[in-house]
């Protein structure tokens, strides 16, 4: 029996090369003699996270292409082999406006979730809640459902998944 642990496979080598060739970069190491850039790193922004075993959190990155489109890392598959194995693919946003709307919805969901947690940390009705708190809790749940539905719609109509792992790779994890 192996040890129980999270296993990060990440993106395919083709995806890594595509990111290197097509996305914005920032200066990395500088030459101590001339001050020129010796290496460049991909410019990334953390946009989200996923949870592994034992509540460990790992970040997901967003990149910007040279022509201004957003590309996000997303979990493609998560089979189990002595722990979760995280296969990551890329999600290319075809529409700048839809991507901006998604960012606003993500912020809204975060704010609503925090408000809901403040009302009832157990994520359920609590007999000690006032009627007003119960009403607000229910309103928040409705707003969260609507926001998440809109987010799913944005993804399904404005993104393309790229450089996905084969079923064989995933099944052999």
**88 in Cβ contact with 76 (< 8 Å):** yes
* 173 domain-assigned: no
* 32 domain-assigned: no
* 33 domain-assigned: no
Least Cα distance to 61 among 43, 46, 42, 77 occurs for 46
Q: Which domain holds residue 111?
A: 7-27+38-168
The size of the chain, in residues, is: 173
Who contacts 124 (Cβ-Cβ below 8 Å, separation ≥6)? none
Token output for 95? 């529409």
* 91 domain-assigned: yes
Looking at residue 136, the DSSP 8-state letter turns out to be H
* 1 domain-assigned: no
Cβ count within 10 A of residue 18 = 19
Number of structural domains found in the chain:
1
* 55 domain-assigned: yes
Helix, strand, or coil (residue 91):
strand
pLDDT tens-digit map of 41-98: 899 999 999 998 888 899 999 999 999 999 999 999 999 888 899 999 999 999 989 9
* 110 domain-assigned: yes
Q: Where residue 124 falls among pLDDT bands split at 50, 70, 90?
A: low
Is the pLDDT at 123 greater than 80, yes or no? no
- Residue 119 is predicted with a pLDDT of 85
Looking at residue 46, the DSSP 8-state letter turns out to be E
* 145 domain-assigned: yes
- Residue 53 is predicted with a pLDDT of 87
Is the pLDDT at 126 greater than 60, yes or no? no
């Amino acid at each position: 029996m192996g040890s129980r642990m999270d296993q990060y496979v990440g993106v395919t080598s083709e995806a890594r090369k595509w990111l290197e060739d097509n996305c914005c970069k920032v200066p990395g190491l500088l030459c101590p003699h001339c001050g020129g850039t010796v290496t460049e790193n991909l410019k990334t922004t953390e946009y989200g996270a996923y949870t592994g075993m034992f509540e460990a959190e790992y970040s997901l990155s967003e990149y910007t292409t040279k022509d201004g489109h957003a590309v996000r890392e997303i979990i493609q598959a998560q089979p189990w082999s002595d722990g979760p194995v995280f296969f990551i693919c890329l999600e290319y946003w075809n529409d700048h406006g839809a991507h901006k709307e998604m960012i606003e919805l993500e912020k809204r969901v975060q704010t609503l979730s925090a408000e809901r947690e403040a009302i009832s940390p157990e994520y359920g009705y609590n007999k000690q809640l006032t009627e007003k708190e119960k009403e607000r809790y229910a309103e928040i749940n409705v707003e969260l459902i609507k926001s998440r539905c809109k987010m799913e719609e944005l993804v399904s109509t404005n993104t393309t998944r790229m450089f996905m792992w084969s079923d064989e790779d995933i099944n052999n994890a």
